[in-house]
Structure 1
Amino acid sequence: MADEVQDSLFPDLPRPPEAPPTVPPEAEAEPPAKKKSRGATVAPAPVDPALVELAAALPPGLRLGTSSWSYPGWANLVWDDDYAETVLSKNGLSALARHPLFRTVSLDRNFYRALTASQYARYAAMVPDDFRFVVKAPSLVTDATVRDESGRGTQVNPVFLNSEIAIQEFVQPALEGLGHRIGALVFQMSPIPAQLLADQPALLARIGEMLESLPGLKPAAPDAVIAVEVRDPQLLCPAFADMLRSVGATFCMGLHAKMPPIEDQLPMLRALWPGPLVCRWNLHRRHGRFGYEDAEKLYGPFDKIVDPDPETREALARVIAGTTGAGQLAYVTVSNNAEGCAPLTIASLARDIAKLPKR
């Protein structure tokens, strides 16, 4: 019976056809608009009644949101005007949190430099009580190598998967600063060197030991989950699911060119069922394993859909509906690099979800 339930929630999905690369239309030459100064208060775009109606049709356990928010190209989609990136980085979160469809956001900057409890608290003060954060763990504990400015690994990271660092630099400050507004704390493991992947049982044991040492989130943040995202397909295996289950963590489905498509990640969700969905849609598959820079150049200023990916959106919508329809929470964040403009992708995804029959 359990297998039948899992299969109905996470049906095998057809593989999408290979889409030919698309080329964005040339932008008309226009004089650059004058951006508002650093001290400006950021106001939200005028409320779209259609988006308010769409938000009301979504499952209450679903939280959709973007990866970060400092994008001037979102003017008239999220912001009411053209603001400088520095202004949005500092003051844009409160406007983002007033968008009808956005109930979470991914704090990606924490991956590069750990935030303090006071920085988290400032963010918490900028959003409604019901808003939740998805927070990436610092690369200090999730990257097995120390990298130079080009991203090339130069030496072994001596604090890779270090429990004390994970607690002191990540979990404890997040608990102190965000409190009940924590949605998911995500340990996104950078691609792991071959010598560590070769001994998978030892690697999984190390990850499990770190996760097991973390303080419980539920007393302070009842909705919070710990999730692990990987960039090595070899780790999508029963042993990984068993380890996560044993320590009370879950799998973060990463939609990224380094990882297989949704249908090949569904077995991990089935193995951990019942449980929440944590998903980060990071990068369109057309760009390959190392395509972030290409996507940034092609999609900027992130004000329109450039590479529509309806197959991924529709597949993700079905997984979301299956999860929330069974009473589980879902945290789903979307990057501009998924299709070109995260707010527009989220609106399309929301429409796909709303069209599905209610369970």
Structure 2
Amino acid sequence: MAYVLLIIGFGLLIKGADLLVNGSSNIARLLRIPPIIIGLTIVALGTSSPEATISIIAAIEGSADVSLGNIIGSNILNLTLVVGIAAFIYPLKVESETIRKEIPFTLLASVVLLIFINDIALQGSTENFITRSDGLIFLLLLSVFMYYVIEVAVKSRGDISTGEAPIGIKWGKNIFITIIGLAGILLGGEMVVSNGTVIAYSLGMSETLVGLTIIAVGTSLPEVVTSVTAALKKESEIALGNIVGSCIFNILFVLGATSVITPLAVNKEMGFDVIVMILLTGLLLIFSRTNYKIKKSEGITLIGVYVIYLVYIIIRN
């Protein structure tokens, strides 16, 4: 029965995220916000909602490894598999602002996370914890990022002619769709955490492995679907903006909010995974600088890197 409920939970997560993204993206279009801003904020926040829901619920229920593993695993998957598949379908155009500010901001957030989870090495503590004060710092950094995005959005509206509001897109309908999508994500998140944990224990898997693989892949499906759809429609700004924005929200918003609610104990093995995440963010920055485009060959490389990482963590755990 747990397997059936897990599948239903994932279904609710995916459909909920789909409705949330559609509704909120249409609201953003009614506000006449440029595509990259939609990707970095509305779409990124929408597709990060499953990670937020699952991580917060897992932390409250005492499954810190699932909570943290979910975030790190999702970001690694986003930076490799999601970017890789999207770039393989259609080369991703990279804006200069993304190279100069947004990807480096993702790198900064990842480095701050590495510092926060190394209490034993840096402070001589007996355990590694992401504390409430760490969470508040994450949320402060998020507010800085949001200020930057809003500033860019306002400047963009002044610089470009965005035309009239789209015909046939209604405020009421899209607000309703957004609310229904959020409800689906909340219910699906609870079902995935509870049933995924039951299955993990029955198979003898560690919480860390479950968080880094099964749940990370499941909660990243909205990013996969959104970015692949955007790539197919040749909307590379939304595709890449969604991925970069999701990584930032996952660390600063999800981990920030989760650790403010309840401090997170950190498994020592997580340090390696965070270092991998930092290196992959650096690799994405390097690929982005090659002719301001992430090419098909680079996409294949990123997919290969994820496969190698997946095999490693399965063997490790």
Greater helix proportion: 2
**Which structure features the higher share of strand residues?**
1
The structure, 1 or 2, with the larger RCO (C-alpha pairs under 8 Å, 6+ apart) is 2
Which is greater in Rg? Answer: 1
